[in-house]
Structure 1
Amino acid sequence: MSEEIKSFTISVYTENNIGLLNRISAIFQRRHINIESLTTSQSEIENVNRFVIVVNITESQAIKVVKQIEKQVEALRAYYHTDEETIYTESCMFKIKSDLLFEEPQIQNIIKDSNARIVTVNKKFFVLEKSGRRHEIELLRRELNVFGIMQFVRSGRIAVTKEEMKISEMLSAFNNQL
Structure 2
Amino acid sequence: MKAKQTYTISIYTENNVGLLNRISAIFQRRHLNIESVNVSKSEIKSVSRFTLLVKLTEDDVKKIIGQIEKQVEVIKAFFHLEEETVYQESCLFKLSSDLLIENDEIQMIINQSKSRVININKDFFVLEKSGSKEEVEELYHILDKHGIMQFVRSGRIAVTKEEMPVSELLESIKQ
TM exceeding 0.5 = yes
Distance 2:173 2:48 in 1: 13
Tell me which amino acid in the other structure corresponds to 1:52: T
Which residue in 2 is equivalent to 1:140? 139
Distance 1:37 1:14 in 2: 18
1:1-178 aligned at under 5 Å gives the runs 2-172=1-171
Over the aligned positions, Cα root-mean-square deviation in angstroms equals 1.2
Q: Is the 8 A contact 1:45 1:172 kept in 2?
A: no
Distance 2:68 2:165 in 1: 18
Structure 1 residue 173 displacement after superposition: 5.2
**Post-superposition, which runs of at least 4 consecutive aligned residues in structure 1 deviate over 6 A?**
none
- Gaps of at least 5 residues in structure 2 are none
- Name the SS of the counterpart of 2:3 in structure 1: coil
Identity within the alignment, %: 58
Structure 1 residue 165 displacement after superposition: 1.1
Structure 1 residue 109 displacement after superposition: 0.3
Distance 1:6 1:174 in 2: 30
Tell me which amino acid in the other structure corresponds to 2:154: S
Structure 1 residue 167 displacement after superposition: 1.6
- Kindly tell me the number of residue pairs found equivalent between the two proteins: 175
- TM-score (ref. length: structure 2): 0.97
- Name the SS of the counterpart of 1:55 in structure 2: strand
Distance 1:117 1:78 in 2: 35
Structure 1 residue 171 displacement after superposition: 2.5
Structure 1 residue 170 displacement after superposition: 2.4
Q: Is the 8 A contact 1:90 1:131 kept in 2?
A: yes
Distance 1:113 1:171 in 2: 43
Tell me which amino acid in the other structure corresponds to 2:85: T
Deviations 1:87-106 (A, max 9, x none): 00000000000011110000
